[in-house]
Structure 1
Amino acid sequence: MSGTWRRWLLVGVVGLMGLAGCRTTGTAVREDKPGRQEIEFDAVTVTADLELEKLNDEELFAGGTSAFAAGDFKQAARYFGRLVDFHPQSPHRRPSLYNAGLAHQRLKEWEDAYHRFVELADAEKGQDDALDAAFRVAETQYHLERFEEAAALLAKVAAREDIPAGRRMEAQVQQGICELEAGRSEQAEATLRKVLTTYEGLSDKDEVDDYFPAQAHFFIGEIYRLHYEAVKLDPKRGGDKLAEDLNYKAELLLSAQGHYLRSIRVGNGYWATAAGAQIGAMYENLYDHMVNSPAPPELNAEEAQVYRQELRKKIRVLLTKSINIYERTLEAAERIGSQNTFVDRTRESLRKVKELLLADADNESDATPPPQPTSEPHS
């Protein structure tokens, strides 16, 4: 379930700081064969970045800040990293730790970002940058696929009563997402439902960002979508079993759709377009399953033909529903000015589904026999 729709700021890191100067401590020459010499050097010692070695902490901080503002995150990580590693008493060290982590995140060097943030983070008691760094540590662990570690850290933040409800809700949503990625879907659903219970119980819902309840609904929808995808339609198991599986699959689709629609109703633009795209994709997916499914083996030729005719009617309904959802999603995205990967994906899916519906109509007209003339004149 990877995804482009998750609420993680995709920021990263470049690991190696500029190669430092080096020195040799001596050489030894050994005769090998006549006419040849093999020269062995002592181990090279990396001491520092020669360009930055002459700068003090004020100059390093200014250089890192300037580079970050210019979008040169490699240079920013280099300057801030130098300050952190070589000026432990500097008053700029804490902000440099955080900024170095941010620069590494922008470059998607998650391990380096983790090592910067973890020194600063305090999930149980931290405030301000220490609390923000705890969220960042969880984010880097997520990208490093250390889902259980990230979930455990976020649970500590979510349990705190000394931070605003919005921050607790943010931690709990992200905890649920990490639990889902770790394969614990039941626990993930329970965690996400707690978020929604908290949200519904707020007397003033404006005190929290609508991003997080919308995200919670979306990922509960994702849980049911994953259950839906796990149900396989196999006609070889017989018509009765196929009908049972198809009904169960449709129930899971409707459950997922219900949570996606609740996500849309919360009113957050990003998750509204993401949820609309997922609903349309599920109808499109069910269409693919049904159109590519052979008739149950116990049906004779005539029964198989009737089966396919009935299936075509249901397929046409699915395609029409998918088109309707996609069009409404794009209208909403245009209305709020949303532009993201879900909008692009929805636009392409809409084009494809319309082509499928047209092809289905053409196939039906080709398969319909022409009307036969009657011997009696029409009145």
Structure 2
Amino acid sequence: MKHMPVRRWWWVAALGVAVSGCRTTGSAARDEASASATPRQEIQFDAVTVTADLELDKLNDEELFAAGTSAFAANEFQQAARYFGRLADFFPDSQHRRAALYNAGLSHQRLKEWEEAGHRFSELADPAKGQGDALDAAFRVAEVDYHLERFEQAAKALGTIAARADVPVNRRLEAQVQQGICQLESGAPETAETTLRKALSTYDALEDKGEVDDYFPAQAHFFMGELYRLHYDNVKLAPAKGVDKLSEDLNYKAELLLSAQGHYLRSIRVGNGYWATAAGAQIGAMYENLYEHMVNSPAPAELDASEAEIYRQELRKKVRVLLTKSINIYERTLETAERIGSQSTFVDRTRESLAKVKALLLADAEAEPATSAPSAPVSEPHT
């Protein structure tokens, strides 16, 4: 989704106000001329400081920080952004300023105010040398850039972090995986695959896998699956090109599906609940998608009527296998989600897809001629 970034700035202005005249014509000009005989007087006022938020004008930095912390804890992110932003802008020497900058960025981020969040985080961020909040802020700036579709900029900052020997392996792996995702989003799948494979090699080489959060290797395997899914999507089935070409494309498409499935299954085996659910949903969706391609493709034009009927019968058998596999994957995904208490858009989508595929399988069975033999048992992929 495209964003129309609008950056809000907080201004402090000292204004000197004076009375000034303007050039006029006609009778007004004559009045001005007669008035010129009178000695001019210049009226000056004291300088006025215009603040961004008059309601907070009387609060000191301690009060602002306490109020912002309370508002954030209550999920009142708009209020939290006001308090933390006021502290950061008007109390440059406060001991709370760095924390206020970071928390203001978090508040804007929760509100999906990406430009404002980036403005706050960028003052702290140091991807090349930063530690603590400076390193955390560098990750946050990259996240902001991702949401604003500045993928190459995000990938560059994350690559800087990933190359640092002074950063713990968990954070380096996090940076490398997210760098690969940004490269994929920027339209560089080959570069993304190289980066993700490096991240997985780093993970595989660890003697103690507990050094890293399982979220990141699971995420890396998931997006390796996504790479192959994109290749799968790019293979179009065209019966008009003839039986041989259709068979070749169908076999290639099935190989890509199995390659994607392999990476999704590895993501599941890592054991992270979120990515396990997401990967299961994607496997089921790919089987469902292949079914739709096959069932909606007309018979090749070179087949006569009897050959076309045999083609459709064989196709029905393959379609039934795909539907059954999809149901098995969806059911296992939902079982996993229920076991770990996972709730996400992937879980909701899986429930909807399961109901849809079961209805398709039932409709296929009802349309089956009474003389047709039952299909062979379906072998299920191991999870």
TM-score range, shorter chain: 0.7 to 0.9
Does residue 1:229 correspond to 2:233, yes or no?
yes
Of 161, 167, 172 in structure 1, the residue corresponding to residue 171 of structure 2 is 167
> Which of the two has higher C-alpha Rg?
2
Match of 1:207 in 2: 211
2:74, 2:274 → 1: CA distance? Answer: 27
User: Which amino acid in 1 is paired with 2:68?
Assistant: G
Cα distance, 1:82 vs structure 2: 1.1
* Structure 2 stretches lacking a partner, 5+ long: 26-48, 373-383
CA 1:364–1:19 in structure 2 vs 1: closer, same or farther (change >3 Å)?
Answer: farther
CA-to-aligned-CA distance 1:222-274 (integer Å, 9 cap, x gap):
00000000111111111111111111111100000000011111111111111
- 2:142, 2:162 → 1: CA distance? 12
Distance 1:21 1:197, change over 3 A: closer
Amino acid at match of 1:334: E
Alpha-carbon offset, residue 20 of structure 1: 10
Q: Is 2:253 the counterpart of 1:257?
A: no
How far did residue 48 of structure 1 move? Answer: 2.6
Give the conservation status (yes or no) of the 8 Å contact 1:74–1:104.
yes
Structure 2 distance, partners of 1:351, 1:311, is: 22
Query: What displacement does 1:14 show?
Result: 10
Q: In the superposition, relative to structure 1, how do residues 22 and 316 fare at CA in structure 2: closer, same or farther (>3 Å)? A: farther
The whole-number CA distance in structure 2 between the counterparts of 1:292 and 1:25 is 77
Task: Provide the rounded CA distance (Å) in 1 between the counterparts of 2:250 and 2:89.
Answer: 60
What is the TM-score when the length of structure 2 is the normalising length? 0.85
**Structure 2 equivalent of residue 103 of structure 1:** 107
Aligned residues: 346
Shift of 1:55: 1.7
Higher RCO structure, 1 or 2 (CA under 8 Å, sep 6+)? 1
Residue 302 of structure 2 aligns to a residue in which SS?
Answer: coil
The alpha-carbon distance between structure 1 residues 261 and 184, as it changes in their structure 2 partners (threshold 3 A), is same
CA distance in 2, matches of 1:134, 1:47: 30
Would the aligned equivalents of 2:11 and 2:51 in 1 still touch at CA under 8 Å?
no
Deviations 1:163-199 (A, max 9, x none): 1111100000000000000011011111111111111
Q: Is the 8 A contact 1:104 1:112 kept in 2?
A: yes
2:85 aligns with 81
The code of the aligned residue for 1:181 comes to E
Q: Tell me the residue number matched to 2:39.
A: none
- Structure 1: stretches of 5+ with no match in the other structure: 3-12, 33-44, 369-379
Q: Aligned partners of 1:319 and 1:91: how far apart in 2?
A: 61
Matched with 1:130 is: 134
* Structure 2 partner of 1:239: 243
SS in 1 for 2:369: helix
Measured at CA, do residues 46 and 310 of structure 1 come closer, stay the same or move farther in structure 2, by a change above 3 Å?
farther
Give the counterpart of 2:278 among 248, 264, 274: 274
Which of these residues, 347, 352, 357, is aligned with residue 353 of structure 1?
A: 357
Partner of 2:315: 311
Partners of 1:124 and 1:106 in 2: CA distance: 26
- SS, match of residue 120 in structure 1: coil
Structure 1 runs of 4+ with >2 Å offset? 13-32, 45-48, 365-368
Residue identity matched to 2:205 = G
What is the distance in 2 between the residues matched to 1:22 and 1:292? Answer: 70
Q: Indicate the SS of the match to 1:160.
A: coil
- State TM-score, norm by structure 1: 0.86
Deviation at 1:60, TM superposition (A): 1.4
The answer on 1:55 being equivalent to 2:39 is no
1:112 aligns with 2:129: no
Cα shift at 1:365? 3.5
CA RMSD of aligned residues (A): 2.6
Mapped partners of 1:124, 1:180: distance in 2: 23
- Does 222-231 or 17-26 show the bigger shift? 17-26
For the residues of structure 2 that align with 1:26 and 1:300, how far apart are their CA atoms?
Answer: 94
Partner letter of residue 206 of structure 1? G
Alignment of 1:297-376 (within 5 A): 297-365=301-369
CA contact (8 A) 1:18 1:49 kept: no
Deviation at 1:15, TM superposition (A): 6.7
Match of 1:142 in 2: 146
Task: Tell me by how many angstroms 1:47 deviates.
Answer: 3.8
After alignment, is 71-80 or 18-27 more displaced? 18-27
Q: Specify whether residues 27 and 253 from structure 1 end up closer, same or farther in structure 2 by C-alpha distance, changes over 3 A only.
A: farther
